[in-house]
Each structure stands twice: as C-alpha cells, then as structure tokens.
Structure 1
C-alpha cells in the first residue's frame, strides 16, 4: 500500500487523520451498484452488512456449523501492487502472486458460502464481479490508485462489513507509509484505533504471509532518500491475506480455504477446541508405570488416558511416557514442530517431570496397529522424582508471536533488493492488531491438556 500521507495535499491530509478519508456511504454507492442506505449506528445493534447478506435474503447458518453466510474479498490495486500484477507482456509470463490469488478467488467462488462479494480497493472499495476481479489479477492493474490508507481500510471493513458468520479477506502488500519519520511510533496505535472504533467484542484476525516475484516499480514506505525503485525487484516481495471477522467465522474460513497452501501464519483472537489426547503406555515408554484410571484394563479400545501411576522411579530408574496429540484441526502454525518445541510447556508439582522431545507422526506411527496411529504429534516426558500423593500436570501450548514476523520486518525498505523479503513496520502493524484482540481468548494458551501423576496403589 502506498501511503496517501505523502501524496495528498495538506487539506486532504487533515481529513485523512479523521476516521476515514472516504465515508462508509461512499463505499456502498458505486456506479451501477444498488446498495442499502446508510443507517445510523444507534439503529443497528451490529454491523451495517452489505446488501448480499441482509436477513431478508439469506438466513445465516448457526455459528460454528454449516457454510458461512458471507465472504467479502478486497484486493488492493494501488500503484504499489502493480509489480505483483504486471500487465501481460509478449511472453505471457505471470507472477506467483497472480497464480496464487487467481486460484484463491476461484476457490472462494466455488465455496459453499451463501454469498460472495468482490471489491477493488483504490481510494475506496469498488464492487467487482468475480470475473472482473479475476481478470484484474490475471491481466494486470489497468488504472492503479494513487494511494490507499491501511487504518482507514481496516476501519471500513470492521465498521461496514462486519457481521455474524461473515469474513472479510483483505489482500495487500500492507506497506503503511507514515507522513514522516516522527509518526512511525504511532503505527500500531493507528491500527488499534481503526479496528477498535466499533468495539467488536469477538473480533479476530488471521494473517497469512506469502512472497512473490515482483516486476515493476517499488515504492518504499519512507521516501526521504528513495522515492521509488524502478525495474524492481531482484528479491521476492511479501504480500498478505488478512482474514477479519468474528472469531468462529475466521477459524472456519481458515480451515476450509487457507490451510491448503504453505504460508507464514499468525492468529489473533481466534480460539480452537482442545485437541484429542491420550497417554500411550505401549509407545516408547520407559520404566514401571501404568494407566491410573480405575478399570483402565476393561475400557473399550480407543479410550483416552490421562493418569500416570508410577510403581517406582529414581534417577537410576527413570520413567518416561508419551502423550499423543491429535492436532489436525489446528492451523498449520500450531502443528509445526518448530513452533511446538519452544512453546509446549509442562507445569508440575512435587516432581521433576519435564518434556524431553516433541515430534510429529511418521509413516511408522501412522501404519502402526497401536493407539499411536490416532495421533499427529507426540510429547515425551521424563520423570526421576515423584511426590507422595497424586499431583496434577498440565501440558500447555502457549500463544506466542511466531518468529517469522520479526524476520519479515524492516525499519527501512529503501534498499529492498539488499534487505530481502521484508515489509516495513510489519511488527508494528500486528502490535496494533494484538492490542485489540488481546482479550481472554488471546491471553489464554492455545490448549491445555490436564494430566495426573501419582504413586501406584
């Protein structure tokens, strides 16, 4: 996104610092598009939804089940995006962005959501058909916008297109250009204020990061030394999908359409069900222990167990047990062993129990006749000291910001060919998102598995 801060005259700059540089009414009053009239917020308990998702036309599915009622896709078409969508040349080559986004739009169009709407974001969103937006992606931006403004766009999506069972997908390079270097510390505040203006209690945002070859002019966020880089770029350039909406709708959309392709991920305010889990007494176990549940030997196949009864244990005769986890319903971020190893923690009392390994299922475990074939991941725990009574253990996956965000962030993108695939102030943008979504859902762990460690009877 090239910034309107550096392209608009002084008067427009003053207006830009207000809740939006274009009104919410403007968004819906496009040439040839019939839209509902603006309704004062005091008369609407929720969001002002687009015409396609009004109650008279579609009955939303119950939260957590069935297809989504509405999916709105917004594609930025400012000048900074031309390098991702260059006009088709004589060699008819295209970028990875074009291939990826065209495929994504097709998948949305074929999805089971009741309504799908598509928008180009220039100085304001303009309604497109699926065919029109797909053609823009494939053939290149014909009339690029001079500027867009990230906080204003976010405010618009949350204020005007937020509704139950609805998601808004914003596709952009998310390059936010403050008016001067002195405004950089307020980037996160600008994003927070934009998302928080309507105070959506269940707001969630999933961020998916990709990179693509880029052929065109690159506009650095800060133009003090370099206003633009022509013939760019020798390095890939990042772009992002932000999925914005109620937490349950975001979770279901992510699972249905965005978990199919590899991407960098970050999730804010999204909650997930506790995954299935069990102790595995016949898988890599060491020492003298057994399931501590009453009548465990008589329980049906497929039952899960969470109590470790230890017959004897010492430094010379340790006990090791494995907990199987079925993480297939979680996003790829939380299934990645690189994320799991530093963020899975074991909380214990009166014992030195500790995690010694975290690993994913392999062909051997998947094809095994044992209970381990039911699980996607495994956590090995070692014990050499035990208290005199039963004590609780908690296996917890903490909710930490993934490392890639810092790795993809730069404070100066005027030398982007040398810096590599990075985005100006990305961390600050996501600080702003986190501040809005850091309620109980975001503070809590991704999941907690309760276990019990006790002496054998």
Structure 2
C-alpha cells in the first residue's frame, strides 16, 4: 500500500480478592517443625506502611466509547488481499479475518457509534454493509496510491476526540516520493502525527499475514514497479488503533485482546495491576509480612512489605509476588516477555527476580490466595536489610522482536524477502517519537514494595 495508515483510535480492573486461610504468627513458627520453606513466613505488624499505590482498588464501571471510526485502504496495493471473487473462488485470510473483525465491532456494545470509511485519496463514508462487501467481494475501483503521512495527518486532525478511536486497516507500505527520502520515513511519520500536537496520543499496532493474490507494488523501485501474479509468500497487513490513551486502551481490551496476530503499543497507559506478597506459596527463609496491622487484616487483604529476619548466601530468602495481569494486552502477559523485561530496583539490597511463571491448573484450583493471580514473580535475596528501603517491581516497555523480524529495506523481490514490510521499524520509530518523550517509553507498570529488617 502506498498510503498512510493511522487511526484514532479496560475493562474495569477488579482488585485481587486474596483468600488468606490464616497467617503465620510467632506461635505458628514455634509449633511447626517443617522445612524453612513452610515455617518461616511469620506475620507481624511493623511501622512501615504499604504504599497506597500498591493497594489497587476496584475501578468504576467502564462506560462505552463514544465513537470508533474505521478506515479501510482500497488502493491498488490492497487488491491482492481483497481480490474480486467468483462463485467458486476462495477467500484470502485477510478477507476472512477483517470481515469477522468488522462484524464483531459492528455488534459490540463497547462502542456507542461506529462509522466506516474507504481510504482513497481521502476518506469516503460507507455503511457497515458496504465496507464489509468490499472486503468480502473485492475492490471494484482501486484508488491511486496515497501518502501514509497525509492520511495520518488527516486522522489526527479531523477524527481525534475524547472517548473515540480511529482504526486503520492497511498494508502500511509507505513509498516516499523520492528514493533519497527513504532516510526520512521516521521524520515523515513523526511530523504527520504531531501536526496538531495531541498530548495524549496513543497508537496500538496489530500485525497479521495473509495469502495474497494479485499485483504487488514494492515501495523500493530499484527493480520492477509491479510484481504480477504475486505472491508465493504471505504478505503482512496491519490494524492500527489511534486516539487518546484511555480510549485506545479501552478499545484494545474490548475488541482486540484475543486477536491472533502480533502487537506493539505506543503511549498506552495501564492501571497498576492487583498484586500481593504470598506468604504460603513457594516461600523460603525467615521473613514475614511487615505491613502495619498485617495479622489483623481481613481475608482479601494484600501485602507489600517484606520483613526479613535472617538472610545469607547459605540461608537465602525467597518470596513470591502474585500479579493479576489479565487486563493487560497479550504482549505484556507473555512469560518470555516478562522474564526479559520485569525488573526489581532497590537500594542497599541484592534482591533480584529469580523466576517468572504463569498460573496453572494447580494454582487456579488452590484454596489459597494464589488462585487470584495470573502470574507470579519469585524474588531472591541473600543480604539482611539494615533499614527499611523501597523496592519497585516494574515492567519495562520494549519494542517487540517481531517488528525487526518483519522489517525490510528492500521489498523489490518480495517472494525472496518473505513476510516483511518496507521500513516498518522506521514507521514505528516515528510513532514512538510522538507518543513518548524518549524512544523507550515509561514502564508498563510499577509496583512499590518495602524491604525492612525483621524483629
């Protein structure tokens, strides 16, 4: 596609209800003769209070979004995704997937009003039925190529409003007008998205691949300007959701959480997920809840202060933090991503993340508080804290690996290159420059804890 993509595009978080079957006390510790792993989590009040931010309360009911504007590119480069079908013709994966997505959105109560557009040299209003028929039956009148930056500028200038998103469906192939302009792909996207200075702009990018039956138009014109009867390899296409950060997050959660493709998120912010220390779940060593009034808290309470009585290289302390990440996008719930990007920061401590794992049948069916969490973080330390110190568990935002894997600087021989998009990384660099102050966005979430010596 030689057009510009862009778009304007949580459910309520429920605080984890931690069913504590009883907390350890000093009397418990004296009376038990089990291993350190079962006998050392002693509950006792302390003067250090759990930071309020860590106690996640249930959010108010989420109101439907006011508007979703859906834009489908219908330039010549998209015909291979939506070929004209005869009575015995097979539909492409694009046609099947996008038709179902449009149907899901049209029926969804998560958005009050939906409007549908074809993108040619500018947006043209369609009904849902008309746009769905274009997807299913093929493009009847293809548009000439359109500039991606120009379309992005149009969307942020004319379709951006509170409680609304724009959804752009396209192959996102941006062909700069001159070969020398390829070095400025990032700049062109940044300038287009920044044209009206939207301070809370967020963009979620979802990537998919499809069989492709038609002419392919490379962005790089070093070889053929058109590859007929293409393609032997799947071709990527994208759904971009654009708009205010809270609206993009809400749309993602309602309509794109279960999508099978790849994803990347820019400028989207998320509430702190429910979390708690778990005193009776895979703990090791001599520690207890140091939260004020810990032993008197009702069932369902959460804990964020670790009081360490003893720790050394030969007698390490290990404790587990339960996290409820069910409301985050799938990219941030992936265990491999979590292992690479969950970080524990603190002063005067050697505490570090020892393991990250997801809930399983055993934890989900447990009668203990671990049943309320989707993921677990095991922390290990070998040094006794000398005084109360803050700890932070944070999830860093990192560009997912698939973006680089799907990027090519030369798509003139696409059958050999494979499922890649010209300058995709540069396109998303341009998005990142607008949606964050730096290339690396703020953490996805930060959960404060306190580490202190026990009595």
Compute the TM-score of the two structures, normalised by the length of structure 2. 0.85
Q: Say which of 174, 177, 182 aligns to 2:175.
A: 177
Query: Secondary structure, in 3 states, of the residue corresponding to 1:80?
Result: helix
Quote the Cα distance in structure 1 between the aligned partners of 2:417 and 2:440. 32
Quote the Cα distance in structure 1 between the aligned partners of 2:160 and 2:293. 51
Deviations 1:339-363 (A, max 9, x none): 1111110102222111111111111
Quote the Cα distance in structure 2 between the aligned partners of 1:455 and 1:131. 66
Quote the Cα distance in structure 2 between the aligned partners of 1:305 and 1:440. 33
The aligned counterpart of 1:320 is: 318
- Pick closer, same or farther for the CA change 1:151–1:441 going to 2, 3 Å: closer
Quote the Cα distance in structure 1 between the aligned partners of 2:132 and 2:66. 22
Q: CA deviation at 1:153?
A: 0.4
Q: CA deviation at 1:333?
A: 1.1
User: Residue 101 in 1 paired to residue 74 in 2?
Assistant: no
Deviations 1:1-58 (A, max 9, x none): 1369xxxxxxxxxxxxxxxxxxxxxxxxxxxxxxxxxxxxxxxxxxxxxxxxxxxxxx
The aligned counterpart of 2:166 is: 168
The aligned counterpart of 1:12 is: none
Q: CA deviation at 1:440?
A: 8.8
The aligned counterpart of 2:289 is: 291
The aligned counterpart of 2:245 is: 247
For the 8 Å contact 1:117–1:130, the answer to whether it is kept is yes
Q: Say which of 336, 340, 345 aligns to 1:347.
A: 345
Which ranges of structure 2 fall in alignment gaps of 5 or more residues? 5-59
The aligned counterpart of 2:50 is: none
Deviations 1:121-172 (A, max 9, x none): 1121111110000000000001111211100000001101111111100000
The aligned counterpart of 1:2 is: 2
Quote the Cα distance in structure 1 between the aligned partners of 2:336 and 2:208. 19
The aligned counterpart of 2:69 is: 72
Query: Secondary structure, in 3 states, of the residue corresponding to 1:443?
Result: coil
Q: Say which of 107, 110, 127 aligns to 1:110.
A: 107
Q: Which has the higher contact order (CA 8 A, sep 6+)?
A: 2
- Pick closer, same or farther for the CA change 1:292–1:3 going to 2, 3 Å: closer
The aligned counterpart of 1:83 is: 80
For the 8 Å contact 2:215–2:227, the answer to whether it is kept is yes
Quote the Cα distance in structure 2 between the aligned partners of 1:256 and 1:442. 26
Query: Secondary structure, in 3 states, of the residue corresponding to 1:120?
Result: strand
The aligned counterpart of 1:53 is: none
Query: Secondary structure, in 3 states, of the residue corresponding to 1:278?
Result: strand
Query: Secondary structure, in 3 states, of the residue corresponding to 2:65?
Result: coil
Quote the Cα distance in structure 2 between the aligned partners of 1:69 and 1:440. 31
The aligned counterpart of 1:134 is: 132
Quote the Cα distance in structure 2 between the aligned partners of 1:299 and 1:218. 64
Q: CA deviation at 1:298?
A: 2.0
Deviations 1:352-410 (A, max 9, x none): 11111111111111111111110011111111112311111110111111111111111
Q: CA deviation at 1:295?
A: 2.6
Aligned-residue CA RMSD (Å): 1.7
The aligned counterpart of 1:14 is: none
- Pick closer, same or farther for the CA change 1:233–1:324 going to 2, 3 Å: same
User: Residue 405 in 1 paired to residue 403 in 2?
Assistant: yes
Quote the Cα distance in structure 2 between the aligned partners of 1:253 and 1:77. 24
Structure 1 residue runs of 4+, over 3 Å off? 439-443
The aligned counterpart of 1:430 is: 428
For the 8 Å contact 2:398–2:440, the answer to whether it is kept is no
For the 8 Å contact 1:268–1:442, the answer to whether it is kept is no
Structure 1 segment 216-295 matched on structure 2, within 5 A: 216-295=214-293
For the 8 Å contact 1:64–1:249, the answer to whether it is kept is no
Quote the Cα distance in structure 1 between the aligned partners of 2:71 and 2:383. 57
For the 8 Å contact 1:308–1:453, the answer to whether it is kept is yes
